[in-house]
Amino acid sequence: MDIFFIVVFFLYGLIFGSFFNVVGLRVPTKSLFSEKRSYCDTCQRTLSWRELIPVFSYLIQKGKCRGCHQRISLIYPLMEFATGILFASTYYFFGITNQMILGVLLISLIIPVSVSDIEYKRIPNRILIFFSPLFLIYRLFFPLNPFYMSGIGAVVAFILVLIIILISKGGMGVGDLKYFTLFGFIFGLYHFLLLFFLSTLFGSIGGLITMKINRLGRKSRIAFGPYIGLAALTVFFVGEPLIDWYISLF
């Protein structure tokens, strides 16, 4: 029975991952509900249902549009597949629990934000504004222990990242500030500090690799949102063991 539900969650993840791609790409351009059906970004041809099957359409078409034969961005199948794996993993590790709800909410926030930041180097306010009340409601029903750690986490996250923005003169953006603050509220102080450390670690490694591959200069702007999201997922899935291990060192 567990295998059945894992497969179900994976398939739902593929479907929602496709939708999250659309949200991440269209919300920054304010075209989420104003555009026609899904279309090719190059030739503007409306896509048939056969071209909209998550991951499989990309593989069958060998990564190219059936109309203009232009390359389709890898971001589409990668985010669809990642969402499927993450949905399935959330059920596998937590079952039908309040933690599963939190996991699905986190994934639903992180994927479109990552897509948007990769594509436009922006973390859209509209996505953060949509999800913030959902996380607030979640924490009202399932508060941290003690409950005020959410507030402390948000305040510390805001102050810490604001100081970095001021010192680095734009090394981080306001979108990063809001994103971190939301995670500070969700996870509380100690888990946020772990999240912040991991995001800088992932960002440093990923940034160096990106600059080397694309031959970018040190001052080139690199999307930091995906690394923040990756750190948040790491904390969600293995945060407790990591913190316990760290404490045991002392």
- Residue 151: CB partners within 8 Å, gap ≥ 6? 185
Last residue within a domain, chosen from 103, 134, 165: 134
The domain tally of the chain equals 2
Query: Which DSSP string do the residues of 22-41 spell out, in sequence order?
Result: HHHHHGGGT-TTTS-SSB-T
Quick one: 181 and 230 in the same domain? yes
Helix and strand numbers, DSSP H then E, in the chain: 9, 0
pLDDT of 157 reads: 97
Name the CA radius of gyration of the chain, rounded.
19
Per-residue pLDDT, 218: 55
Shared domain for 71 and 155, answered yes or no, is: no
Same domain, 42 and 164: no
Tokens of 33: 């509900």
Whether residues 97 and 207 share a domain: the answer is: no
Alpha helices by DSSP H, 122-219: 125-141, 149-168, 174-187, 189-214
What's residue 164's pLDDT? 92
Q: Which of 89, 110, 134 lies at the terminal end of a domain, its last residue? A: 134
pLDDT of residue 245: 73
Q: Is 18 helix (H, G, I), strand (E, B) or coil?
A: helix
Residues 152 and 210 in one domain: yes
- Dihedral angle over CA of 155, 221, 124, 108, nearest 10: -80
Query: Is residue 123 a contact partner of residue 170, using CB atoms and an 8 Å limit?
Result: no
- Contact present, 93 and 79 (Cβ < 8 Å): no
Give the model's pLDDT for residue 145.
Answer: 92
CA 178 to CA 150: how far, in whole Å?
15
Whole-number Å distance between alpha carbons of 13 and 60 = 20
Same domain, 151 and 127: no
Same domain? For 163 and 212 the reply is yes
Domain boundary among 134, 152, 173: 134
**Assigned token pair, 165:** 């923005």
> Which residues constitute the domain of residue 109?
1-134
In angstroms, the CA 116 to CA 75 distance is 11
CA distances 5 to 122, 216, 241, Å, are 35, 44, 26
Kindly state whether residues 178 and 198 are assigned to the same domain: yes
Dist CA 15 CA 55 (whole Å):
10
* Pair 240, 145: CB distance under 8 Å: no
pLDDT of the chain, 250 residues: tens digit per residue:
589 999 999 999 999 999 999 999 889 887 776 656 676 666 666 766 676 788 888 888 877 777 777 787 889 999 999 999 999 999 999 999 999 999 999 999 999 999 999 999 999 999 999 999 999 999 999 999 999 999 999 999 999 999 999 988 767 889 999 999 999 999 999 999 999 999 999 998 988 887 777 665 555 677 899 999 999 999 999 988 887 776 665 4
Task: Report pLDDT for 248.
Answer: 66
Residues 123 and 29 in one domain: yes
**Do 35 and 80 share a structural domain?**
yes
Cis-peptide, bond into residue 143, ω within 30° of zero: no
Residues 8 and 34 in one domain: yes
- Kindly report whether the global pTM for this prediction surpasses the value 0.85: yes
Same domain? For 108 and 147 the reply is: no
